[in-house]
Amino acid sequence: MLNFNFYNPTEIFFGEGQIAEITKAIPSEAKVLVVYGGGSIHKNGIYEQVSAALSEFNWGEFAGIEPNPTYQTCMQAVEKIKAEEFNYILAVGGGSVIDGSKFIAAAANFEGEPWDILSKGAEVKSALPIGVVLTLPATGSESNSFSVVSNSETHDKLPFASILVQPKFAVLDPKVMETLPTRQLTNGVVDAFVHTMEQYLTYPVDAKVQDRFAEGLLMTLMEEGPKLLSDDVDYKTRANVMWSATMALNGLIGAGVPQDWATHMIGHEITAVYGLDHAQTLAIILPRMMLEQKEHKREKLLQYAERVLGLDISDEEQAIASAIEMTEQFFHRVDMKTRLSDYGVDEEAVDKITDQLERHGMTALGEQQAVTLDKSRQIIAASL
């Protein structure tokens, strides 16, 4: 096992009715800016629950954070914060609202041009505190320190990380999933699955706990994910998927193990250029990444085949081929497409996405830096 520091300071309130807990979780003297997206929270009762919980607080709101949050929209919230002296952010939404809120929290206290946090890795020295009411289980953003923000003018989609923007608390009420459209349920299952794979499907370092936790998450998502799309989906299924998505990217399974993230880096470029949903890009790239990297990932691929998929691995080549095929089939079982052409993206994407990767210095991706620009090009071409 590799050395690691593990620290996750986000308090989780899990279960039905837990939105009311924000009354106790936010300091009573705070001036709270509630940040949300395009308005789904007005249609499903979440806004009412949040306003009831904040009834004794001094608070205001900023709506309109879009999927794949933009720097431009976030900066409008920063202006509001400065003008009206808010000192606490409550993000109510999915990964986009949470990521946007993290950037807003850092930008509000930043001296200089906040875009530098994303484009130049400028250090975040201070940030407003953030609380979260999660409405879409997918990204794990509710209890990690990562954020991904896009620039609508330059077509950059860039990440930053700072412990200072990690949420103080996150409310996870599986009931909020009742109003999620199939597309977002699908996105959530696939994103959580691929997060787990990015931290599991590398090379072995004898990290038995991390491996078995990761395998538990993969198996849970494969078992419960498809049930989310059925008519008789129940609270138990929603709860299991919601908790899996948080656990997939809260630092625990990634501590002390090598991490990949090549699929994500290529995926971010596809979203930046073609606007596909984040998880849609992952389902396209991952199967091709597994195939291209199968020698580097051989031992873990076989472990995945045997332990997660229950395959006989005596014929190793066959087992690896089946494991990759079953992964893609799982994406289909949750109604996810797995080809660029399914979204009308044609071969011009091969050059465009490769150029984007080069521009962002993504020329040696993966746990062994084995995904060179040339390999990325091949993976994208194989994903058409």
Site residues for Zn ion per CB under 5 A:
191
Q: Which residue is nearest to ligand NZQ (CB)?
A: 37
Shortest distance (Å) from residue 69 CB to ligand NZQ = 6
Candidates 93, 114, 225, 287: give the one binding ligand NZQ (CB under 6 A). Answer: 93
Q: Which is nearer to Zn ion, 191 or 224 (CB)?
A: 191
Token code pair at residue 312: 């006989």
- Out of 32, 37, 143, 156, which residue is the one contacting ligand NZQ (CB under 6 A)? 37
Does 264 sit near ligand NZQ (CB under 6 A)? Answer: yes
Identify the residue among 114, 131, 140, 254 touching ligand NZQ (CB under 6 A): 140
| From 10, 21, 67, 91, residue interacting with ligand NZQ (rule: CB under 6 A) | 67
Task: Output the six-digit token pair for 342.
Answer: 């399914």
Q: Which amino acid is at 17?
A: G
Q: Which is nearer to ligand NZQ, 242 or 323 (CB)?
A: 242
Question: Contact between 39 and ligand NZQ (CB under 6 A)?
Answer: yes
365 is an interface residue for ligand NZQ by CB under 6 A? no
Among Zn ion, ligand NZQ, none, the one that 62 touches (CB under a kind-dependent 5 to 8 A) is: none
- 378 by Cβ neighbours in 10 Å (0-12 / 13-18 / 19+) ranks as middle
Q: If binding is defined by CB under 6 A, does position 17 make contact with ligand NZQ?
A: no
Query: Tokens for 306?
Result: 């045997």
Decide if residue 217 touches ligand NZQ (CB under 6 A): no
Q: Dihedral (C-alpha) 155, 158, 164, 168: value to the nearest 10 degrees?
A: 80
Rounded to whole angstroms, how far apart are CA atoms 276 and 272?
8
CA-wise closest residue to 375 among 197, 196, 366, 340: 366
Which residue among 138, 172, 272, 320 contacts ligand NZQ (CB under 6 A)? 138
**Residue 329 CB partners (closer than 8 Å, separation 6+):** none
Is 193 one of the binding residues for ligand NZQ (CB under 6 A)? Answer: no
Q: Is 99 in the site for ligand NZQ (CB under 6 A)?
A: yes
Q: Which does 10 bind (CB under 5 to 8 A by kind): Zn ion, ligand NZQ, none?
A: none
* Residues 245, 228: Cα–Cα separation, whole Å: 14
Task: Quote the least distance from Cβ 195 to Zn ion, whole Å.
Answer: 5
**Residue 181 C-alpha from the chain's centroid:** 18
Query: Considering the rule CB under 6 A, would residue 97 count as an interface residue with ligand NZQ?
Result: yes
Half-sphere exposure of 281 (CA within 13 A, CB side): 23
Question: Containing H/E element for 100?
Answer: helix 95-108
176 touches ligand NZQ by CB under 6 A = yes
DSSP 276: -
Query: Could you say which of Zn ion, ligand NZQ, none residue 141 binds, taking C-beta under 5 to 8 angstroms by partner kind?
Result: ligand NZQ
Query: Of ligand NZQ, Zn ion, none, which one does residue 218 interact with (CB within 5 to 8 Å by kind)?
Result: none
CB neighbour class for 374 (10 Å; exposed up to 12, middle 13-18, buried from 19): exposed
Amino acid identity of residue 363, one-letter, is: T
Q: Does 96 bind ligand NZQ (CB under 6 A)?
A: yes
CB of 139 to Zn ion, least distance (A): 6
